[in-house]
Amino acid sequence: MDYSTYSNEELVSIIEAGDEAAYDQLFRNLAPITLHEAEMYRGKMDTYSTEDFLQEGNIVVWEIISRGNFKSGKFSTYFGGAIRNRLIRIWRDYNLKNLVCIGEQEDFHGNVTRILVESDYAKEYRQKKAEQQKRWYDKKKATQPPKEKKQPMTKEERSRRVCAYQKEYYATHPDKLAERREKNRIAEKARRERKKAERLAAQTAQA
């Protein structure tokens, strides 16, 4: 079916009704907007070509319609803001993840090493995020009441707490108590046998 005479809003309605064949015409209608918004980023990101930018625009169209974000007005206007924001995020992520080459350095063996540094955009972005985070923590700290400093637990209090916990635990797990007593009995028997062997060895050495 030929959708070339349909408006963008009509194409969106057709797609929402279940006819996804209208996507191709909608993509073609919105491609100039995508290329216009991508103009300032062309040549600045090595991994992005014209086809990549167009694909990002197609993804934005699909997300808007599938999520039901567009309600009324001109679809091209809504799409323009959405693709602009997406390209800004892509540009930000690219600068944060990729270093900028400011020159090359050659050693005595003729090996060339690229000098890579973080971009100014990435530095400013990280500094801005750090300042925002600091302001958020300062505001949160100012609105929260000061925490009362707990007194350190004494050795006697710690011992009483451990005893109370063990008493409660073994009261609900009698099998664990019997198992522990058996282990203690075996360990005590082994200790006595070891002491006895040490005494015999000492007596033999003296003789």
Among left, alpha and beta (phi > 0; psi -120 to 50; other), residue 80 is alpha
- The answer to whether residues 19 and 63 belong to one domain is yes
Per-residue pLDDT at 75 exceeds 90: yes
- The answer to whether residues 56 and 124 belong to one domain is no
Query: What would the mean pLDDT of 121-142 be, rounded to a whole number?
Result: 85
Query: What pLDDT score does 149 carry?
Result: 77
Residue 24 located in a structural domain: yes
Count how many domains the chain has: 3
- The answer to whether residues 19 and 91 belong to one domain is yes
Residue 117 parent element (H or E): strand 112-117
Query: What pLDDT score does 102 carry?
Result: 58
- The answer to whether residues 106 and 139 belong to one domain is yes
- The answer to whether residues 139 and 67 belong to one domain is no
Tens of pLDDT, residues 153-173:
888 888 999 999 888 888 888
Residue 2 located in a structural domain: no
- The answer to whether residues 89 and 44 belong to one domain is yes
Mean residue pLDDT across the chain:
86
Residue 148 located in a structural domain: no
Per-residue pLDDT at 175 exceeds 80: yes
Per-residue pLDDT at 65 exceeds 70: yes
User: Across the strands, what pairs with 113?
Assistant: 105
Of 23-27, 93-97, 109-113, 145-149, the least confident: 109-113
- The answer to whether residues 163 and 137 belong to one domain is no
Residues 154-193 as b or e (16 or more Cβ within 10 Å = b): eeeeeeeeeeeeeeeeeeeeeeeeeeeeeeeeeeeeeeee
Domain residue limits at 110: 102-143
**pTM check: above 0.85:** no
Tens of pLDDT, residues 116-126:
567 777 788 78
- The answer to whether residues 108 and 123 belong to one domain is yes
Residue 19 located in a structural domain: yes
- The answer to whether residues 200 and 126 belong to one domain is no
- The answer to whether residues 173 and 127 belong to one domain is no
How many angstroms from the chain centroid is the CA of residue 139? 24
Tens of pLDDT, residues 12-52:
999 988 888 899 999 999 999 999 999 988 888 888 899 99
Residue 151 located in a structural domain: no
Residue 150 located in a structural domain: no
- The answer to whether residues 85 and 44 belong to one domain is yes
- The answer to whether residues 84 and 15 belong to one domain is yes
